[in-house]
Structure 1
Amino acid sequence: MTEIETRVLRPDAAGIAEAARLLGAGALVSFPTETVYGLGGDARDSVAVARIFDAKGRPHFNPLIVHVPDLDAARRFADISGPVEALAKHFWPGPLTLVAPLAEGHGLSPLVTAGLDTVALRVPAHPAAQDVLRVFDGPVAAPSANPSGRISPTTAAHVLAGLAGKVDAVLDAGPCPVGLESTIVGGTPLALLRPGGLAQEDIERVVGPLKTAGDTITAPGQLASHYAPNAAIRLNANAAHPGEVLLGFGPMQSDLNLSVTGDLIEAAAHLFDHLHTLDAMDRPIAVAPIPNCGLGRAINDRLRRAAAPRT
């Protein structure tokens, strides 16, 4: 891939307008959501979508999330009904991605869905993302803006560190407040396809128990090795071994701590930023145990994938 100059845009009216113009011209624009920074391209343009895969080094059998500004826009691309509709009405905009059957005449590039008859859709809550989507007025495919399998970006600096020279622009609106990718739900009956920034318990209060996803890849973020730093990761560590750096949780001595007070929301917001910082130390990373409840399930999911054997 030929390197290009990556511009940094401000989240003001001029920056939003330029981001939308670039998307309309088939360019790639990274923009913040409440979860992580996404790498956006026009979801109807197969060349733009192919550039996303190329920039990330992403396997083409891994589908992408399509971002839209509201439920009405989502209905142009998918059949949203039943419990999926109930979740959309309850949690959108927000950190929830819903997988639904493709609508007739949807117009999306087949690369977005990886050949499946379903599409993953999300309505982000971040004001900059909303502004871009509304000015662009089209569906934006936007996986996390990082090299495939590596740590997800929660700041514009993270995006530039991984993808400078491969994307046309980054809209810098500061750090992402949630800091953990969206929860993904879909299928019949509904299954939790990826834990994320919306707790499973909150979803089940609306639609009842979710089944567990199988091994088939039907949504983004289901690869066994994913979200990984360059350094090796050891999980459930109560202390660091010689030569390791320790990522702590709760009141303990550590090199960095996800949340000294044991707050899982704070821990989720800090996870990827702290992994980026520790990875730069070029030492193996030990990670303290994280409670497997609420957002802890999503944090542990990301840590297990980060620690998995690399593919």
Structure 2
Amino acid sequence: METIIFDQQLEQAVEALKQGEVVSFPTETVYGLGANALDESAVKKVFAVKGRPSDNPLIVHVYDFDQVKPFIQTKHPLAEKIVEQFWPGPLTLIFEIKPESLPKVVTGGLSTAAFRMPNHPVTLELLRQAQLPLVGPSANTSGKPSPTSSAHVYHDLKGKIKGIVEGGQSQIGVESTVLDLSNPNLPPMILRPGAITKEMLEATLGLEVLIDQHLVKESETPKAPGMKYKHYSPDTPVMMVAPKDLLHAVRHFGKENYRLGVMATPSQIALIKDQVQTCFAYEDEKVQSAAKGLFSGLRQLDEQSPKLDLILVVTFENKGLGMAYMNRLKKAAAQKIY
């Protein structure tokens, strides 16, 4: 199959989706792998393309909250307030849904489903024109770093999907926050951190928002994507390193004759650049740049030739957006830290 780059030619992309094809679309977080969420055979193609276990639930992308309401069994009392404040945006909401309102392949067999309204003008227009809810897991091979550009999608999935809607570089770079609203009698709980932080939610809601720290084993069915113990991993082994330990780690692995790659801020790279084979510097010292560059940096260093033996990635403080960055990094590194 030839994979077409739809340069915002949405009529062709819409037609492909209506015919049950798989089309990648841009969002502000990462690129998604779109298919009609109401078409079981189309959704199964998404799992086949990604090589993803079919017990893993998918996020359903919509163009407004009215599109979600027919699926919801019991609406959480805070749902409207959250939607009004944070949609469109990098926030996925989990609701208890009406039995058989979505195919089991979308929900992973659970009684809940996840919904998001992405903050990207091209994809919002795609959703409006299609008038279909679209599943949209990250458009990459399952378990590998998520794609933040159409080039990343093409690299992973050329010949496997019908097309890619071009939408430029993803601005956030890590997947959406997932917030569990499935039990209207319980406070909201973050299942996956993202750019909408605990602090932001609490400021809007005026109450404590919980965070689920549970790491899902391979044998378990996660309630939301990205909850597995290991995820987002390139082929090259990854290890976390605290900024204070970076120089020591570089010297240690240098003595062991490792071909080493390092991902860090510009000032941190300046300290060690003469002692490693290759580096990937974030745009600046801020965690926003680290989050935006994490997946693209992992991909770039993973493709070095000859192959690297190890990629060292600096840690950030585990708060605010740093919580989302560290969540992805810990899984990419299979929890290993120097």
Shorter-normalised TM-score: what interval?
Answer: over 0.9
Quote the Cα distance in structure 1 between the aligned partners of 2:75 and 2:170: 28
Find the residue that maps to 1:251 and give its secondary structure.
helix
Instruction: List alignment gaps of at least 5 residues for structure 1.
Output: none
Q: Does residue 1:169 correspond to 2:167, yes or no?
A: no
Please point out which of 281, 296, 299 is paired with 1:273. 296
What is the 5 A alignment of 1:116-135? Answer: 116-135=110-129
Partner of 1:98: 93
Distance 1:93 1:234, change over 3 A: same
Q: Provide the residue aligned with 2:23 in structure 1.
A: 29
The structure with more radius of gyration: 2
Q: Which residue of 2 aligns with 1:189?
A: 187
Please point out which of 230, 240, 248 is paired with 2:235: 230
How big is the shift at 1:87?
Answer: 1.2
- The alignment yields a C-alpha RMSD, in angstroms, of 1.7
State how far apart, in whole Å, the 2-side matches of 1:80 and 1:256 are.
45
- Structure 2 portions without partners, runs of 5+: 217-221, 274-278
Give the CA deviation at 1:298.
Answer: 0.4
Q: Is the 8 A contact 1:236 1:290 kept in 2?
A: no
Which among 313, 316, 336 is matched to residue 287 of structure 1?
313
Matched, 1:218 2:217: no
Q: CA deviation at 1:76?
A: 2.2
Which residue pairs with 1:258 in the alignment?
Answer: 282
CA distance in 1, matches of 2:120, 2:143: 24
AA partner of residue 88 (structure 2): P
Q: Report how many residues are paired.
A: 302
Tell me the residue number matched to 1:247: 263
- 5 Å-filtered alignment, 1:134-145, equals 134-145=128-139
Q: Give the counterpart letter for 1:90 in structure 2.
A: Q
Instruction: Give the whole-Å Cα distance in 1 for the aligned partners of 2:81 and 2:75.
Output: 9
Aligned to 1:83: 78
